[in-house]
Homo-oligomer: A and B are copies of this chain.
Amino acid sequence: MSERQDEFLNRLRANAQAVEAVLADLLSGDCRPEEIARPARLLAAMRHGVLNGGKRLRPFLVVETAALFPAAEPAAALRVGAALECIHCYSLVHDDLPAMDDDDLRRGQPTVHVAFDEAAAILAGDSLLTLAFDTIAAPETRLDDATKVALVLALSRAAGIGGMVGGQTLDLAAETDRPEEAGIVTLQAMKTGALIRFACEAGAILAGASDGDRLTLRRYGETVGLAFQIADDLLDLTADAATLGKATGKDAGRGKATLVARRGQAWAEDRLRALVAEAGTLLAPFGARAEILAETARFIANRRS
């Protein structure tokens, strides 16, 4: 392993620990001002869905894109990353429900509706989604009000009907609709792309970056979002469940033709190389500061779990 990869993995791990600490604090039993009570079972279901040792890739993207700008406050970036992780985790809890993807296993553990019940999983997802906006707006997140409003707006657009939730709708429909390639691209840009793009743009928003830098990081986010999805589809095609900690071969089993399944493994590997190169080109103006983000693109393209 190269020194650069080594440094990348160290930073990714250190960030995951820092995010985990913020999430554990957000999901402690202590009531916040205005809260009446935190019912123990709901809190336990939320914690089960969140505090599960994930890589925390989306918060990492927020923190590392923010770190390109000296003005950004790392603690604020970490809290915005934790808010985003609440959204990501809620979407997994709801997607795993019997009425949706019907998965029993997530990161090698029983999913929330299996460990608790369906009602608890629905409500845990709802309150995690709500908690994300709470976390951005809370006084503990030291950002000015205009920045918080911009983040709430960008996050809600990325997560709602025109982004992630809309994408999940299209994904469920794809089992019977069998969309053409353009349809698959839109579906994936919404279902997984929108949140990854937000992660990269959020760093620029909270740092008060110029419009040009914000646009560049947005494009970087779109690029790694595409790489993420292709790597995911490749894994679904080639990995085994033990490595992945969740069921594999599901897409084909449901008649969902991913781009990778249609075009083949060689195409996917070529495409991943091109996307990593594109990410590098986009990051070039930031110079050496952006090396970690270039390594992140490689990591996303090459991940095997």
Contact = CB atoms under 8 A, between A and B. Distances in A.
Contact of A117 (B99, B125, B133, B149): B99
A97 B99 CA distance: 11
A33 to B, nearest CB: 7
A76 to B, nearest CB: 14
Contacts of A189: 36
B42 A161 contact: yes
A165 B39 CA distance: 10
Given A41-B173, A100-B119, A133-B133, 8 more contacts: A31-B162, A36-B166, A38-B161, A38-B162, A42-B165, A100-B122, A119-B172, A127-B166
Contacts of A99: 117-119, 122
25 contacts: A32-B157, A34-B154, A34-B157, A34-B158, A36-B163, A36-B166, A37-B166, A37-B190, A38-B162, A39-B166, A39-B170, A41-B173, A94-B126, A100-B122, A120-B169, A123-B169, A125-B126, A126-B129, A129-B130, A130-B161, A131-B160, A133-B156, A144-B145, A145-B146, A148-B152
Contacts of A144: 145
A279 interface: no
Contacts of A119: 99-100, 172
A274 interface: no
Contacts of A163: 34-36
Nearest to A157: B34
A168 B42 CA distance: 10
B134 A37 contact: no
A275 to B, nearest CB: 19
A42 to B, nearest CB: 4
A150 B34 CA distance: 12
A215 interface: no
B145 A130 contact: no
Interface string A34-50: 11111101110010000
User: Which 3 pairs across A and B sit closest by C-beta, in order of nearness?
Assistant: A35-B162, A99-B118, A134-B156
